[in-house]
Amino acid sequence: MKTRTVRRSRLVPHTVDGRTEMVLDHYDVEAPTPPRDWDRIVLTAVTTIAGLIGAACIVWSTASIGDLLARVVTPPAAYAAAVVFDLAWISCMALEWLARYDQARARLPRRAGFAALAVAMGAVGVHGWLSGWLVIGVVGALVSGLAKGLWTVVLAHHAKPLDDLTQQWVDAQRARAGGELAMVSVRRELARARAAVDAEEETLRRTPDPTPDTPEDEADAPETPELPTVSGPMTIADAVRTALSSGISNPDAVLRYVRKVADANAKEESVRRTLRGARSAS
């Protein structure tokens, strides 16, 4: 059995000048060497090959489609647009890789990837046909098809579909997390709306009167008698006499004063009768 030297560490007490501290002690042990994981090595090699083929496919398609588009636009713009044809289906494959545990979510990017691949292969074939080399155009189009086919097989090997019950549990957890994430945006929106309302109300409270009273207006305004202060409990009659002595003679004003200082439920007829009696007595 093959072995290998493995360095490990452990805490040991170490004393210097009477003070003990726990320090790391490094030591070597002989551990069995695990066998090579040839499955992982082969899968890594195939994935690397697929990546190299994808890069070569991008170069070939870009050169072919770029030359096709350069017939009507400037070469820089033509080749920049040509890159989009292959990057579209490669991006769809990346999304399919991210959804490798959820076949339902991977279905849409897989179909979109094949649609984008068909467009790219058609463009390469058209370039060969217009150049007078239809066979070369067909063969060149197959380069993208082979790259996509290889990546489809690799992604299928990497995919780990979940069973139905586990998939439902994952969907429920994803929906709950998505709802919480959506509520963050909703709460932020509500906070902005409340802040705008508070600012508007604060502005309205602090806005001065657009037509303030001028000294001339104050001089022309009729003088309003100042209500007398209350020094203790008062009856309706006392309140009526106090109002008259303070210059309040309007029956409605007297009624309001009586209800304020004497009896909040004072009847209007009683107050008016008391007011007439107070006037006749004076």
| Domain boundaries along the sequence of the chain | 3-32, 38-164, 232-281
Q: Which two tokens stand for residue 206?
A: 């602090």
Q: Which two tokens stand for residue 113?
A: 């990837």
Task: Give residue 126's pLDDT band: very low, low, confident or very high (50, 70, 90).
Answer: very high
Q: Average pLDDT, whole number, for the chain? A: 83
- Please name the helix (run of DSSP H) or strand (run of DSSP E) that holds residue 35, with its range, or none: none
Task: Give residue 178's pLDDT band: very low, low, confident or very high (50, 70, 90).
Answer: confident
Q: pLDDT at position 220, please?
A: 52
Task: Give residue 158's pLDDT band: very low, low, confident or very high (50, 70, 90).
Answer: confident
Specify the range with the lowest mean pLDDT, choosing from 50-59, 146-155, 186-195, 253-262.
253-262
Q: Which two tokens stand for residue 196?
A: 């705008």
Query: Which comes out higher in pLDDT, residue 246 or 106?
Result: 106
Q: pLDDT at position 218, please?
A: 47
196-221 pLDDT per residue, tens? 888 887 777 765 555 555 555 545 54
Radius of gyration of the chain from its Cα atoms, rounded to whole angstroms? 46
Q: pLDDT at position 221, please?
A: 47
Q: pLDDT at position 211, please?
A: 53
**Measured between alpha carbons, how far is 173 from 54 in angstroms, rounded to an integer?**
35
| Centroid of chain to Cα 46 | 39
Question: Do 261 and 232 form a contact (C-beta atoms < 8 A)?
Answer: no
Question: Do 102 and 173 form a contact (C-beta atoms < 8 A)?
Answer: no
47-96 pLDDT per residue, tens? 899 889 989 999 999 999 999 999 888 989 999 999 999 899 999 999 98
Q: Which two tokens stand for residue 270?
A: 């009683």
Q: pLDDT at position 37, please?
A: 83
**Measured between alpha carbons, how far is 207 from 216 in angstroms, rounded to an integer?**
23
Question: Do 43 and 153 form a contact (C-beta atoms < 8 A)?
Answer: no
